[in-house]
Structure 1
Amino acid sequence: MINTLRQSFQIGAAVTGNTLIYWCQRLPLVGKLFKDRLYAEGSLKDRVCAVAFLLKACTQVLYKALYVCLAIWLPAAVVMETLTPQQRVDAFLWFLLMMSFVGGALIKTAIGDTSAVKYTCVKLMGMPAQEYLPVNGLFSHLMDILYLLPVTALFSALIGFGVLRGLLLAPLWVAAHLIGERVQLWLFDRFGLLTQKKMAYQWVLILLIPLAAYLPPFLQAIPPVGRVVASPLFWAALLGLGALAAHSLFRYRNYPAFARQALPLSEVQLDAKKASNQAQFASVKLRDKDFAGDALQTGKYDRKTGYDYLNAIFFDRHKRLFFLPVCRRLAVVAGAAVLSFGCLLFFPEIARNLGGYLPQSLPLMVFLMYLLSIGDQACRAMFYNCDISLLRYGFYRQKEVILRNFRIRLRRLCGFNLITAGGICLYVLSFGLAAGLNWPPLDILSYCATVLMLAVFFSVHHLFLYYVFQPYTAELDIKNPFYTLLNMVVYIACFVCLKLDSQPAGFAFIVLGATILYTAAALVLIYRWAPKNFRVK
């Protein structure tokens, strides 16, 4: 075990050092100072790797602190105003158990993770997968304990769970992830399923786990998990199961087959950010069947001319890229409706509490409509399948043309997002009436108008950022920091809306004003800045 770790560190140091030297040689002015002989300096690479390891450790602590703050502590803070001290602890621990102990353990795996160093060790250097994968995975989890200790202690103290108990949460967290590793190896043996490669599996968990985590506390139905987690019996059981899982990882015999599928050459990318950016365009590529049947028949648009004709053909030939995401979102709404009406039949008291929350749920709808908008994917489809080619011509970058295309595309995108918004309004109204909610007609009208205006707002938002900043390059990278920053600002603003408490009528006027002002500002800024920035980079 020690020898395997030492060899993997040496290989990792070589890969890290060589990569750093390669990029330093390409720096302006000082690049010539980094000579090729540095590639042979093994001791230098070891020191560089040690520094990189320390920086990574600090980064991991900050990353885990940010995750616990945003995904666990902040949601607990949203609901804690009306809770007793014990209920606050229960809410925090419930979020932690569902999001990290269950969700994190089933979604993420250290053994099946793909990296350049792991590929180099197992596939290129010939280190036995039977030895390398469990040792590397266990070491990764042990390091997670060190990263998590200050984080869990800090937030446990803030929530009132205690520093000492918070320190114990770190090994319990890792024990749950070790159990998750063994479960995922069982899934591979039983079904040949590599969970990190199956997007359907990932998305089901990504949708269900937050729902199971956040819904009970917001409905004032917090499971009393505080006493359970504080129990020595729970600690002993989870730590014992984690130890058994770690032991089982070393006794597992199918690592060679697992490595063949988990470490393909096509997925080993030295530039992970670039690979991630390019992977976002995979969902907007056309397929052969998109050109089958009447997809190429343009006679039905003979009455249109100019850019109306161009966009009509574009949206018709790429309708799968726009209608399919909308259908998926409607399917989620339909699933929520089935669960809600099922709850109404079998758990009427809980359903009535949920129905009573609906009039005050508009702040939550801001966040949900941001997530459900197809604006980001629509802009990627426009760039990849249309603009990346036409932007090479000067006429396509003229102010009048840009503004004309913006207005046409805005109408189309609003139409798609309004379908989703309409489905949400129908679900909320039908469930509210079925649950016996006494909802004044003016408030119903204000609620539905707000949801519909949010669909328009986020349509304007994504198109505005696309036209003013145009973040995509010819190599399909995202290289505009202002685009990312403004998207993050809007995301944070939507999240902060969860803290608001407003009546539907007042909130509707706020959203209406924001939509009108944002649309007007977008048109002005697009007319002024898009001709300069809306181009292929």
Structure 2
Amino acid sequence: MKMLANFFKEDCHFFNYNLTKMLNSFFYFLRRVPLIKRMISEQVYAAYGLKSALGVILTIFSISFSFLKKVLFLIVIVALQIFLSTFVNKGTISDIFSQINPSMLQQGAFLWFVLVVIVYGFYNQFSVLITQKMIKFYTEFSLSAPQFVLGQMFVSVLKSTFFYLLTGVFYGLLANKPLLGLLMPLSYLAGNLLLFVFCRWLYMINFSTVMRRWIGLMATVIFLIIIGSFYYLGWVASLTNLFTSWILLPAWLILTYLSFRAAWNYPKQHEFIQKTIRQSFSFYETTTNDTQKNNQYIGQGLKMQSQLQVNTDEKVSNLKGSEYLNALLFSRYRQVFNKKIRYMLAGFSVVAVFLLVLRLTNVDLGLDEAATVRLLPFLFFVMYFLSFGKQIVQMLFVNCDSSMLYYPFYRESDTILKGFTYRLRRTFQYNSLIILSIFFLFILLQVLNDFYLSWQFFGTLLLLLVALGFLFSFHELFVYYLLQPFTSDMTVSSPAYKVVTWVFYYFAYMNSQVRVTGVLYVIVVSVICLVYVAIGLVVIYRVAPKTFKTKD
């Protein structure tokens, strides 16, 4: 019992540790928000009275939420039971509400036992994994990793049992079966402890990853067959009567005692914990790399690292200073951009062939100039997804700026401004290929449909595409130089950058939904884009030398 008390003591410290980190992270976030950071000083981290008060509130909220979460699970399962019962009895939707009675609520408790205790309990114990928060806690406080991890496994089951005790009492009153106040927590505790031992035995057989997946798949099939047979054979009511009877109460008590002893005295406890820790480290190492590579903010840049090609380019060799460095970087990743260009051209070719086939098969699209003009706002959204801006920015940071920003000469105003100008020019060159491709598609549409578009339309189209080309070449670089959101460990530290990213995406999406079309739309959007670029260039020249720096 002394060891169990130590488990709860460590869990209390672990809870306070996570609570403190959450509060500090919240204060840190507030101090990163431009308009709020001036109102909050660094002394907020040492405001122990404020932290204690917030800690008490959050603790009460956490306990209440844990209880409500159990109640919510039970409500969902009861609703599922009512639905399945109605379906099996071939009832209608109107019959669902008529089946809400104490008997049906008790059957919901039995379905809870099957789904939560047996099914979820099996998967939870079979796919055991310690959290990264647990790893950081026992590492920072130099605790015994096996003892702490084992303690968390027992404490987690016991805490859930306590919350199901409260849930069972509440639910038993509703279902007119007060006995559920004891049966639910006892069945949950005994079932999880038995699965604790059984799944440890499976875990220690050293199955391969593939074999473990097959075991999980076979378990899913078996569970579905068993649950389906209960309803098909009409056994649910009988099994519910057995589950909620007083006769099983002594059996659950005995089973709880035996399962607790078996779990507590599991013979390969230490080997199991050590294996769990090793596999958890391996899992997080793999998922961290995959997460970074799939990160929308930096993933493309990381993927490009393995595709770098060292080549000799006479045009690059003749350059000097910052221009040479940037030209060399673009030269070494030229094949990556060319690959995207080939895919893009292939996509446009498919669209062109599709238009040609429609013409050859005499399919009437019913196009006129007014209908075609209504397509122009959608080009904003198309350019958003096809633009090279975001990919180039990620390439620049991951493969150049993340290292070079540590050197003083690289942070000089002249170097920053020359680098920005060169990068903007090269980004616009790549985006120009998108502009030309879209423009030629409209020309093809014109030729295949008896030249139904006026030349004023093409002037309007060209103005819009050029304005969008400048916008999407400039925007990502502008935000990057103004906020420089990336850190040396390839994460995003600026909340403002994430907000700007999502706002810009929303703006692009809303352009595809806009109702105003025609020359007015093109003029308004083009003017906004060009004014934004012009003002942004002024801001970059004045502000970027102060903001374009490395982040910790």
TM-score, with normalisation over the residues of structure 1? 0.55
Which residue is equivalent to 1:130? 214
Which residue is equivalent to 2:468? 454
Q: CA deviation at 1:33?
A: 11
Structure 2 CA distance for aligned equivalents of residues 421 and 138 of structure 1: 56
Which residue is equivalent to 1:364? 378
Specify every segment of 5 or more residues in structure 2 that has no aligned partner in the other structure, as ranges.
Answer: 1-113, 163-202, 225-281
**Distance change >3 Å, CA 435–CA 131, structure 1 → 2:** same
2:154 aligned with 1:43, yes or no? yes
Q: Give matches, 1:412-427, under 5 Å.
A: 412-427=426-441
2:38 aligned with 1:22, yes or no? no
Structure 1 CA distance for aligned equivalents of residues 420 and 373 of structure 2: 35
Q: CA deviation at 1:279?
A: 4.7
Which residue is equivalent to 2:300? 280
Q: CA RMSD in A?
A: 3.9
**What residue identity is the alignment partner of 1:39?**
V
**Distance change >3 Å, CA 496–CA 136, structure 1 → 2:** farther
The correspondence for 2:501, drawn from 487, 507, 530, is 487
Q: Assess if the C-alpha contact under 8 Å between 1:21 and 1:34 holds in 2.
A: no
The correspondence for 1:390, drawn from 389, 404, 416, is 404
Q: CA deviation at 1:339?
A: 1.0
Q: Assess if the C-alpha contact under 8 Å between 1:397 and 1:534 holds in 2.
A: yes
2:312 aligned with 1:296, yes or no? yes
Q: CA deviation at 1:536?
A: 5.1
**What residue identity is the alignment partner of 1:327?**
R
Structure 1 CA distance for aligned equivalents of residues 438 and 220 of structure 2: 46
Identity rate, percent: 21
Which residue is equivalent to 2:355? 340
**What residue identity is the alignment partner of 1:130?**
W
Structure 1 CA distance for aligned equivalents of residues 326 and 436 of structure 2: 24
Q: Give matches, 1:77-88, under 5 Å.
A: none
2:490 is paired with a residue whose SS is coil
Q: Give matches, 1:69-468, under 5 Å.
A: 128-135=212-219, 268-269=286-287, 273-274=291-292, 276-277=294-295, 279-287=299-307, 290-291=309-310, 295-297=311-313, 299-301=314-316, 303-350=318-365, 352-353=366-367, 357-436=371-450, 438-468=452-482
Which residue is equivalent to 1:217? none
Structure 2 CA distance for aligned equivalents of residues 344 and 357 of structure 1: 18
Q: Assess if the C-alpha contact under 8 Å between 2:374 and 2:518 holds in 1.
A: yes
Q: Assess if the C-alpha contact under 8 Å between 1:425 and 1:448 holds in 2.
A: yes
2:522 aligned with 1:511, yes or no? no
**Distance change >3 Å, CA 26–CA 309, structure 1 → 2:** same
Bigger drift between 445-454 and 273-282 goes to: 273-282
Structure 2 CA distance for aligned equivalents of residues 411 and 137 of structure 1: 58
**What residue identity is the alignment partner of 1:395?**
F
Q: Assess if the C-alpha contact under 8 Å between 2:387 and 2:431 holds in 1.
A: yes
Q: Assess if the C-alpha contact under 8 Å between 1:392 and 1:536 holds in 2.
A: no
Q: CA deviation at 1:134?
A: 4.8
Which residue is equivalent to 1:8? 123
Which residue is equivalent to 1:177? none
Q: CA deviation at 1:389?
A: 2.2
Q: Assess if the C-alpha contact under 8 Å between 2:485 and 2:551 holds in 1.
A: no
1:280 is paired with a residue whose SS is helix
Q: Assess if the C-alpha contact under 8 Å between 2:402 and 2:488 holds in 1.
A: yes
Q: CA deviation at 1:500?
A: 1.5
Q: Assess if the C-alpha contact under 8 Å between 2:374 and 2:517 holds in 1.
A: yes
Structure 1 CA distance for aligned equivalents of residues 494 and 218 of structure 2: 40
Give deviations 1:492-525, integer Å, cap 9, x for gaps. 1111112223344222222222222221332244
Structure 2 CA distance for aligned equivalents of residues 326 and 444 of structure 1: 24
Structure 2 CA distance for aligned equivalents of residues 266 and 354 of structure 1: 56
TM-score, with normalisation over the residues of structure 2? 0.53
Structure 1 CA distance for aligned equivalents of residues 526 and 487 of structure 2: 34
Give deviations 1:136-193, integer Å, cap 9, x for gaps. 59999xxxxxxxxxxxxxxxxxxxxxxxxxxxxxxxxxxxxxxxxxxxxxxxxxxxxx
Which residue is equivalent to 1:227? none
Larger Rg: 2
**Distance change >3 Å, CA 460–CA 431, structure 1 → 2:** same
Structure 2 CA distance for aligned equivalents of residues 533 and 137 of structure 1: 56
**What residue identity is the alignment partner of 1:465?**
V
**What residue identity is the alignment partner of 1:410?**
L
**Distance change >3 Å, CA 335–CA 388, structure 1 → 2:** same
Structure 1 CA distance for aligned equivalents of residues 463 and 205 of structure 2: 58
Give deviations 1:266-311, integer Å, cap 9, x for gaps. 98426864453375334312547x22xxx224x4346543323332
Give deviations 1:67-108, integer Å, cap 9, x for gaps. xxxxxxxxxxxxxxxxxxxxxxxxxxxxxxxxxxxxxxxxxx
**Distance change >3 Å, CA 123–CA 426, structure 1 → 2:** farther
Structure 1 CA distance for aligned equivalents of residues 528 and 223 of structure 2: 50
Q: CA deviation at 1:19?
A: 3.5
Q: Assess if the C-alpha contact under 8 Å between 2:292 and 2:302 holds in 1.
A: no
Structure 2 CA distance for aligned equivalents of residues 383 and 373 of structure 1: 18
**What residue identity is the alignment partner of 2:150?**
A
Structure 1 CA distance for aligned equivalents of residues 428 and 223 of structure 2: 49
Structure 2 CA distance for aligned equivalents of residues 50 and 362 of structure 1: 60
Q: Assess if the C-alpha contact under 8 Å between 2:316 and 2:324 holds in 1.
A: yes
Which residue is equivalent to 2:21? none
Q: Assess if the C-alpha contact under 8 Å between 2:300 and 2:395 holds in 1.
A: no
**Distance change >3 Å, CA 477–CA 343, structure 1 → 2:** same
Bigger drift between 275-284 and 363-372 goes to: 275-284
Give deviations 1:333-390, integer Å, cap 9, x for gaps. 111111121122225213x448863221111000000011011111111122222221
Specify every segment of 5 or more residues in structure 1 that has no aligned partner in the other structure, as ranges.
Answer: 52-118, 141-263
Q: CA deviation at 1:448?
A: 1.9
Which residue is equivalent to 1:193? none
Bigger drift between 423-432 and 301-310 goes to: 301-310
Bigger drift between 388-397 and 125-134 goes to: 125-134
